[in-house]
């Protein structure tokens, strides 16, 4: 997200998290956004900054500048990088840390173990050279290879046509669903009506036919 009007419309739907991309190469780059736009969001929505291999001190600066509640790391950040971000917040509340992993058939889920103690959540996205926002799903059967206990966000090309399969996913570690490009009218501009329908369906509040 990055457009003030679109952000406040989405806030009406009370998503649990709202994401802002601080990766310059992304068509969704939100680095020019005014921090005041985020200040007016309800506290129940976690303002989430998405970063790709950004030095820890710069992540911490962005958290402070934008009042972020969570950071989502989408590059090849090491466990030490994650710990270094947390260390920037010694003596003050730190943001939630979500470590993203790009999944493809060659992905080794055992590499997530090294992040168990430094991440609050994992996020499984489709592996892509752009690091995210690919609009492509990965084969969710691959999740059987994840043996950890940490809760995860499911991500990658999720669109309205996936809702039935999503609701059938039986994995107690599935914590949240990350919706992005399949709900866009243009990069970083979300289709609020489409999201309303989808969020209601996911929450079990869909209108009965």
What's the closest the beta carbon of residue 177 comes to ligand LARABZUK, in angstroms? 10
By CB under 6 A, residue 54 contacts ligand LARABZUK = no
What's the closest the beta carbon of residue 16 comes to ligand LARABZUK, in angstroms? 14
Binding map of ligand LARABZUK across residues 1-30, x = CB under 6 A, - = no contact: ------------------x-x-x--x-x--
Q: Which of residues 103-122 bind ligand LARABZUK (CB under 6 A)?
A: none
Binding map of ligand LARABZUK across residues 124-163, x = CB under 6 A, - = no contact: -x----xxxxxx-------------------xxxx-----
DSSP the chain: ---HHHHHHHHTT--SEEEEE--TTSTTB-TTS-HHHHHTS-TTSEEEEEESS--HHHHHHHHHHHT-SEEEE-S---HHHHHHHHHTTTTSPPPEEEEEEEE-TT--GGGGGGGTTT-SEEEEEE--TTSS-------GGGGGG----S-EEE-SS--GGGHHHHHH---TTEEEE---GGGEEETTEE-HHHHHHHHHHHTT-PPP-
Which residues in this chain contact ligand LARABZUK in the complex, by CB under 6 A?
A: 19, 21, 23, 26, 28, 50, 52, 72, 74, 125, 130-135, 155-158, 178, 180-182
């Amino acid at each position: 997200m990055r457009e003030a009007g679109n952000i406040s419309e989405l806030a009406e739907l009370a998503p649990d998290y709202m994401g802002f991309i601080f990766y310059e190469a992304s068509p969704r780059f939100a680095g020019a956004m005014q921090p005041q736009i985020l200040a007016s969001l309800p506290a129940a929505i976690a303002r989430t900054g998405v970063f790709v291999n950004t030095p820890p001190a710069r992540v911490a600066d962005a958290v402070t500048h934008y009042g972020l509640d969570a950071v989502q790391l989408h590059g090849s950040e090491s466990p030490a990088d994650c710990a270094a971000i947390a260390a920037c917040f010694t003596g003050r509340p730190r943001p939630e840390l979500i470590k993203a992993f790009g999944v493809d058939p060659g992905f080794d889920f055992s590499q997530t173990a090294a992040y168990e103690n430094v991440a609050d959540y994992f996020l499984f996205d489709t592996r892509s050279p752009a690091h995210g926002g690919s609009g492509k799903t990965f084969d969710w059967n691959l999740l059987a290879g994840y043996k950890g206990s940490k809760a995860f966000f499911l991500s990658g090309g999720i669109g309205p046509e996936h809702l039935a399969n999503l609701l059938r996913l039986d994995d107690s570690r599935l914590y949240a669903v990350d919706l992005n490009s399949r709900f866009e009218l243009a990069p970083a501009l979300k289709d609020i009506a489409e999201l309303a329908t989808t969020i209601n369906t996911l929450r079990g509040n869909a209108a009965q036919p």
